[in-house]
Amino acid sequence: MSDVTATAPWKALEDHRDRLESVSLRQLFTTEPDRVSALTVPAGDLVIDFSKQRLDTPVVQALLELADTAGIAAAREAMLSGAHINVTEDRAVLHTALRLPRDAQLIVDGVDVVADVHAVLDRMGEFTDRLRSGDWRGATGQQITTVVNIGIGGSDLGPAMVTRALRRFHDGPATRFVSNVDPADLTAALADLDPATTVFIVASKTFSTLETLSNATAARRWLVDALGEDAVANHFVAVSTHTERVVEFGIDPANMFEFWDWVGGRYSVGSAIGLAVMCAIGRERFAEFLAGMHTIDTHFATTAPARNAPLLAGVIGVWNASVLGYRSRAVVPYAQDLARLPAYLQQLTMESNGKSVRADGTPVVCPTGEVFWGEPGTNGQHAFFQLLHQGTEIVPVDFLGLARSGDDLPARDGQTSMQVLLLANMFAQAKVLAFGRDADEVRADGVDEALVAHKVMPGDRPSTTILAPELTPSVVGQIIAFYEHQTFVQGVVWGIDSFDQWGVELGKTQATALQTVLAGDEIPDTGDASTDHLIEVYRTLRDG
Ligand code: F6P
């Protein structure tokens, strides 16, 4: 593969980094009067303001040239048309096909995948209609009140995040999510549940994941102990690509919802993996969620580079992480219902682009894979924002805010609307991070000289602000697709296969090998002294 850091746009970016080193955001806002409109981009219902990033027009031009040189247009076309761009697994990458409208057609490897997608969506709709209406009954004839999704990674984070985000639209059975092989997770989830009114969704692309199979087996035992073996058919459904393993586990294939190996786990919430979401909000709302994703897919596929929101976000991430050296990105949704978004994005972005070799197996040529983390605002302000404002580490922030809240309490008795307070806090953080407060301004406030240095805010800390009207199914879908596509853009620039995850595999294999050693009593000989010692300490502690 060619070396992206040896290209002319990359060299230009390095020069721009040096040129901008002593140029403040305050100066850039003065010298570029059109900056805000040039760097504010609409995409679907989202309005994305990149103007507080540390860049100017020549940087944006160089970043777009970089994307062009990396072949973004051809790569995007290859993905959308079903080429096998996941080269290490020889698979197509077609999460965008999951949200194509029913009348679309996409033939991949000789199959119309849109027809397949809608056939499964219809089956999901029939199942969830029955569950939600009370037509689907448990083994004792009772109505189902709770759905427990058992899955991990992409088979958990997507449905868990979206169900939480769409709390206001939740009019179906209660949903719970069990992922960790820590028995505490399942125990806590089942503590107050009645087997007779509980349905389990076992969600696993491979149907071989240790955590999911362990939890599913334990859940099955819990159910069978109470209701007998025959109850499994009414209380267990599966979502997987692997029918044989589902049958082997004891779930009727009639109760299985299929998806395909061209859907990556972390890109799968729009597939049958979203079944728990559909149980919660119903098939019509789920269709709106998919349509929201499709809106951003279309924007990404058709919008000119300079106004293409995921493309800009992706290359700006490269600029921050690989050129400026800002290695992590905080995601701070000013929406409590998006509390799980940072965790969801961690898998999406870090499992995709946390790679040290490129698609052809050669080493990467620059730092890749931003570290994503975050918490909802305003809570984050009272935890890690001190470091964001005044620490030695510069962390670009994605702020996400909603113009309307379905929960807002009207202004009354002199109290401001809480939603207004929430957004005022978000705008204030982005403003202070960008523009800071110098010593003269601090002194002008009459601050004691001994405290001036402590109260100076350095500024020039980059952020992007994403605004949406309110948290609807469509908007949640749009936010997800916006991040999916920027992750893709970064992978293309870095030359990475963003759709495999070999790094996770060795840890899984080693865990399987070590479980036998932990359970036994032979002197451990695992090949390293530290692990051997820790196992002995564990056994001593375990045996009291
Ligand atoms: O964490 C590794 C991983 O393979 C993820 O990519 C995936 O989302 C998760 O495990 C769960 O896999 P499965 O859906 O096959 O159980």
Q: Which residues form the domain of 253?
A: 95-286
Residue among 14, 126, 248, 382 flagged as catalytic: 382
- Regarding whether 240 and 134 lie in a shared domain, the answer is yes
Secondary structure (DSSP) of 175-214: EEEE--SSHHHHHHHHTT--GGGEEEEEE-SSS--HHHHH
- Regarding whether 307 and 275 lie in a shared domain, the answer is no
- Regarding whether 513 and 490 lie in a shared domain, the answer is no
Ligand 1 mean position, distance from CA 4 (Å): 30
Q: Which of 86, 150, 155, 213 to mutate to test the pocket of ligand 1 (most atoms within 8 A of CB)?
A: 155
Instruction: Give which of 328, 428, 436 is closest to 378, Cα–Cα.
Output: 428
Ligand 1 mean position, distance from CA 138 (Å): 29
Q: Which of 181, 201, 206 to mutate to test the pocket of ligand 1 (most atoms within 8 A of CB)?
A: 206
Q: Closest ligand 1 atom to the C-alpha of 240?
A: 14
- Regarding whether 531 and 490 lie in a shared domain, the answer is no
The protein residue with its alpha carbon nearest to ligand 1, atom 3, reads 153
Residue among 65, 211, 351, 484 flagged as catalytic: 351
Q: Is 431 a catalytic residue?
A: no
Ligand 1 mean position, distance from CA 295 (Å): 27
Ligand 1 mean position, distance from CA 20 (Å): 42
In this predicted model, what pLDDT tens digit does every residue of 102-136 receive, in sequence order? 999 999 988 999 999 999 999 999 999 999 999 99
> Is 501 a domain residue?
no
Q: Closest ligand 1 atom to the C-alpha of 155?
A: 14
The protein residue with its alpha carbon nearest to ligand 1, atom 2, reads 504
- Regarding whether 438 and 375 lie in a shared domain, the answer is yes
Interacting residues of 131 by C-beta distance below 8 A, sequence separation 6+: 144, 147, 172, 173, 199, 279
> Is 215 a domain residue?
yes
Q: Closest ligand 1 atom to the C-alpha of 266?
A: 8
pTM metric for this prediction: 0.97
First to last CA, the chain: 56
Please name the residue that has the structure tokens 């992480």.
Answer: 321
> Is 292 a domain residue?
no
Q: Is 11 a catalytic residue?
A: no
- Regarding whether 459 and 317 lie in a shared domain, the answer is yes
Which of 286, 313, 345 corresponds to the end of one domain?
286
> Is 237 a domain residue?
yes
Residue among 248, 284, 505, 508 flagged as catalytic: 508
> Is 297 a domain residue?
no
Interacting residues of 71 by C-beta distance below 8 A, sequence separation 6+: 492
Ligand 1 mean position, distance from CA 18 (Å): 41
Ligand 1 mean position, distance from CA 508 (Å): 11
Q: Which of 86, 161, 205, 346 to mutate to test the pocket of ligand 1 (most atoms within 8 A of CB)?
A: 205
CATH number of the domain that residue 179 is part of = 3.40.50.10490
Which residue positions in the chain have pLDDT lower than 50?
Answer: none
Instruction: Give which of 497, 483, 506 is closest to 368, Cα–Cα.
Output: 497
> Is 499 a domain residue?
no
Q: Closest ligand 1 atom to the C-alpha of 268?
A: 8
Q: Is 351 a catalytic residue?
A: yes
> Is 84 a domain residue?
no
- Regarding whether 348 and 482 lie in a shared domain, the answer is yes
Q: Which of 501, 506, 509 to mutate to test the pocket of ligand 1 (most atoms within 8 A of CB)?
A: 501
Domain count within the chain: 3
Cα(534)–Cα(524) distance, rounded to whole angstroms?
10
- Regarding whether 451 and 342 lie in a shared domain, the answer is yes
- Regarding whether 375 and 308 lie in a shared domain, the answer is yes
- Regarding whether 373 and 457 lie in a shared domain, the answer is yes
In this predicted model, what pLDDT tens digit does every residue of 206-256 receive, in sequence order? 999 999 999 999 999 999 999 999 999 999 999 999 999 999 999 999 999
Report residue 402 as tokens: 């909603």
Ligand 1 mean position, distance from CA 327 (Å): 25
Q: Which of 355, 499, 504 to mutate to test the pocket of ligand 1 (most atoms within 8 A of CB)?
A: 504
- Regarding whether 340 and 266 lie in a shared domain, the answer is no
Q: Closest ligand 1 atom to the C-alpha of 212?
A: 16
* Interface predicted TM-score (ipTM): 0.98
Instruction: Return the pLDDT at 512.
Output: 82
Cis bond before residue 378 (omega within 30° of 0): yes
Ligand 1 mean position, distance from CA 41 (Å): 34
**C-alpha angle 270-71-76 in degrees, rounded to nearest 5:** 20
- Regarding whether 487 and 377 lie in a shared domain, the answer is yes
Instruction: Give which of 113, 153, 146, 155 is closest to 239, Cα–Cα.
Output: 155
The protein residue with its alpha carbon nearest to ligand 1, atom 1, reads 153
The protein residue with its alpha carbon nearest to ligand 1, atom 10, reads 153
Q: Output the ligand 1 site: residues, CB below 6 A.
A: 152-155, 204-206, 209, 212, 265-266, 351, 501, 504
- The DSSP secondary-structure symbol of 144 reads P
The protein residue with its alpha carbon nearest to ligand 1, atom 6, reads 265
> Is 168 a domain residue?
yes
